[in-house]
Structure 1
Amino acid sequence: MSDTERSQMEINLNKVFCPKCDEKMPALLRIPKNIQQLMWGGWTCPKCDCKMDKFGKKISE
């Protein structure tokens, strides 16, 4: 399934890496930084502050 076909309701059990600096995101200790991350998952990279969805796709701001 391509990135554009993925639903926000899907669960991602794969490892996620930052699309900007390739830093591995923590799997067990995910602390949401905004309401979108709280509701739908996702990370803010601790190394470069890049925001991404739960599949590791960069979110434009």
Structure 2
Amino acid sequence: MIGKVTVWYMTEEERLAYIAKHPIVPTEQPSGPIFLKNDEKRKKASENGAKSTKEMWKKRKSE
């Protein structure tokens, strides 16, 4: 349900059992060049999207 909050209460033993069953596995972030390449793609796509949106607005205003 939207807006409904469910609060779960666990004992310390239940919490430790849950953590043992679902361990937190650390992950490494991608190295610099790959990460920057994806960031550049995202920025370029964002700019292109903004341009096309502005063009659509101009067309709608002119109609």
* The two structures share one fold, judged by TM-score above 0.5: no
Higher RCO by CA contacts (8 Å cutoff, separation 6 or greater): 1
More helix by share: 2
* TM-score normalised by structure 1 residue count: 0.15
More strand by share: 1
Structure showing greater radius of gyration is 2
* TM-score normalised by structure 2 residue count: 0.15
